[in-house]
Amino acid sequence: MRLPRVLLSALALSATLFLSSSAASTSDHDDDDEFQLRQLTDDNFKSETAHGIWLVEHYSPKCSHCRAFAPTWTKLAKEKQHLERLTGFHMAQVNCLAQGDLCNANGIKFYPQVILYVDGKPQPHYTGDRSYTDMAKYIDEHSMEYVQDTMMRSEAEGDGSSGVSRPNPEGKVVEVNEEQLEAFKEAGPVLVDFYAPWCGHCKKLRPTYEKLAEEMQGKLNLVAVDCDRLTSFCRASGVAGYPTIRIYHHGTQTEYSGARSLSKMKEFAMKAVQVTTLQTIKAADFSQIVQTNEAFFLYLQNFDTTVAETQSVKTALEPLLGAVPAYTSADPDLYKRLSIANPAPTSVLLAFSSYSARPVGSLSFPASQDNLNRFVNLHRFPTLVELSGSNYNAIMKSPTRAVVVLGAIHKGDEGEKEKERLAEVARAWKRGGRPFSQPVWFVWVDGEKWAKWLKQQYGIKKKELPAVVVVDPPLNEYYDTTIEGHQIAFDGTSIFSVLEGVYQHFLRPKRIESTLEWGSRSAAATLITFGQMSVDHPLLSLVSLVGAVALFVFLLQRCNSRDNRDGNGHAISSRLD
């Protein structure tokens, strides 16, 4: 949604006009030397009132009622000035003594007469009490009504103005080559199945994939790439096994690693459809959004928001592929509810997490695209997120090169308390942590379920839970020592000390061992132990060696037999595509 940009006053008053009205406007209508009541003339009346909502007082300096009303009008004009940016509401005057033709053309018969103009069209003149309270209520009601009407018009216009062809019109999977896939990627989000015709798992998946295409008719394009025919292209695309399911959108790709059931794959596919643009909301929608989204973004616009700014926000949010919902609003009630500065100085992008109505981060505009991207990447996950098989690549192998604070906790009630402690640290970091060039994400794992992985990767033993390390996945390194030289503890002071050391490059990282490196080191240790045993017990060593070789040969035969059969138990030829 894009709201129309209201034109602010552009024409200066002439010196003669200002002097002719100064007696009334300065002595009776303006108590503040720095505040100037806006005056309209025959030259600028139509151009100014053509956009937005304008409350115009037609008055005469000779009118006693006008002089009596002047303090109330001046106070209203000063205190409602912030609505210009927020809702497009303006207040102005016409001096009918100096602008007689303009007043006559507008049918002014008495003074003061107050008329509301909406996008240049006059409404019935104000007939209520001229007290501050009554007029303030009138202004608030009509400015709010104007914003809501504008939002509804913008939504309606946006629904039919895109001109983009409907995706997946027939509800079928389309076989594509490299060039055709690029065309689909240019058109919008597309789900791709990289497969090989001889692969048993691919054959098993295909009926489900075709059923998914039927259910995503008109919503999302589904295509398939035959990697037996396009081997080089699949290799260049980083396809390591079959089938590989990916969503491509806006220059990014997200690989599917969940269960290959229709419901789970549809849930994954819908993420690319649900939020490819900002969804417009009103203040009344906010509570429900907070209750149903663990994390989301809210872009508060106003009547100074530009097309370029809105597009930059969409560009930063679209690569999330719908994983995190994004909303927009210009509802003044939301500004008030969220305690945004009043008058609102700029548009603002807010990040929310953990089902809380209090934002965990905010970015005011103007902002560079780099700062905008950094803000979105910092808050793309909830304040504290569980590391699982389905999001492992997105977190630990993210193209954003994120730093990960990894907490390993117990199961059950004890683990819940530990999780809340880590969440408090994460919230504190988001409120005032160092502005890393990389995002810093806080994640937790079940330390008992992931015990072997934690010990292999980071040296965390089960008996040491709860434990925490700071991981730099792009460099395959981690930190477990504070600036003070102490082992990192499961508390905010210790974690912040490590993060500070990482930021300042004070700490020496430890290298994360790959599985091969870990296996090699373990094998070396075993050989050393075996060598020592062979010296002390040569006969026992010989028997152990023969038994180990026999077991190895047996397992190798089993693996070869299994690898040479597809998912249905039929023999297949071995190949590396």
Segment 19-73, tens digit of pLDDT: 233 333 333 444 444 678 889 999 999 998 988 889 999 999 999 999 999 999 9
Considering the domain architecture, whether residues 146 and 27 belong to the same structural domain is answered as yes
- Positive or negative, the Cα torsion across 425, 427, 432, 436? positive
Write the pLDDT tens digit of every residue in 297-325.
999 887 777 778 888 888 888 777 556 78
Question: Domain end: 346, 378, 410, which one?
Answer: 378
CA gap 205, 76 in Å, rounded: 67
The distance of Cα 33 from the centroid of its chain, to the nearest Å, equals 45
Residue 152 lies in a domain: yes
Do 90 and 52 form a contact (C-beta atoms < 8 A)?
Answer: yes
Q: Is the pTM of this model over 0.85?
A: no
CA gap 420, 418 in Å, rounded: 5
* Residue 243, domain CATH: 3.40.30.10
Q: Record the tokens describing residue 391, joined without a space.
A: 């999001």
CA gap 7, 3 in Å, rounded: 12
pLDDT tops 70 at residue 152 = no
Residue 165 lies in a domain: no
CA gap 348, 301 in Å, rounded: 7
CA gap 192, 187 in Å, rounded: 14
Catalytic residues: 199, 202
Local structure of 303: helix, strand or coil? coil
CA gap 77, 91 in Å, rounded: 6
Residue 514: pLDDT band (50, 70, 90) is low
Residue 164 lies in a domain: no
Residue 265 lies in a domain: yes
Average pLDDT on 384-394 reads 80
Q: Which residue has the higher pLDDT, 9 or 281?
A: 281
Do 235 and 368 form a contact (C-beta atoms < 8 A)?
Answer: no
Considering the domain architecture, whether residues 420 and 468 belong to the same structural domain is answered as yes
Residue position matching structure tokens 């017990």: 537
Residue 330 lies in a domain: yes
Considering the domain architecture, whether residues 284 and 371 belong to the same structural domain is answered as yes
Write the pLDDT tens digit of every residue in 195-233.
999 999 999 999 999 999 999 887 889 999 999 999 999
Q: What are phi and psi of 505, to 5 degrees?
A: 60, 35
Residue 575 lies in a domain: no
Residue position matching structure tokens 């009303």: 69
Question: In this predicted structure, what is the pLDDT of residue 27?
Answer: 35
Considering the domain architecture, whether residues 78 and 138 belong to the same structural domain is answered as yes
- Helix then strand then coil, % of the chain, to nearest 5: 45, 15, 40
- Positive or negative, the Cα torsion across 223, 226, 232, 237? positive
- CB-CB neighbours of 351 under 10 Å: 21
Considering the domain architecture, whether residues 372 and 495 belong to the same structural domain is answered as no
Q: Find the DSSP H helices in 52-196.
A: 64-79, 83-87, 100-105, 132-159, 178-187
For 204, residues 6+ apart whose C-beta sits below 8 A from its C-beta are: 567
Considering the domain architecture, whether residues 255 and 121 belong to the same structural domain is answered as no
Considering the domain architecture, whether residues 374 and 401 belong to the same structural domain is answered as no
The parent domain of residue 534 ranges over: 519-563
Residue 407: pLDDT band (50, 70, 90) is very high
Q: Of the candidates 436, 453, 544, which has an alpha carbon nearest to the alpha carbon of residue 499?
A: 436
Considering the domain architecture, whether residues 392 and 352 belong to the same structural domain is answered as no
Question: Domain end: 318, 349, 378, which one?
Answer: 378
Pairing outcome for strands 403-409 and 440-446: parallel
Considering the domain architecture, whether residues 433 and 491 belong to the same structural domain is answered as yes
The region, left, alpha or beta by phi > 0 then psi within -120 to 50, assigned to residue 476 is left
Quick one: DSSP state of residue 481? B
Write the pLDDT tens digit of every residue in 435-483.
777 788 899 999 988 899 899 889 999 899 999 999 998 888 999 999 9
- Residue at 190: amino acid letter: V
Residue position matching structure tokens 């808050």: 379
Considering the domain architecture, whether residues 38 and 133 belong to the same structural domain is answered as yes
Considering the domain architecture, whether residues 404 and 498 belong to the same structural domain is answered as yes
Question: In this predicted structure, what is the pLDDT of residue 117?
Answer: 92
Question: Domain end: 344, 360, 378, which one?
Answer: 378
Residue 168 lies in a domain: no
Residue 424 lies in a domain: yes
CA gap 389, 394 in Å, rounded: 10
CA gap 489, 441 in Å, rounded: 18
Number of domains in the chain: 5
pLDDT tops 80 at residue 173 = yes
Considering the domain architecture, whether residues 333 and 444 belong to the same structural domain is answered as no
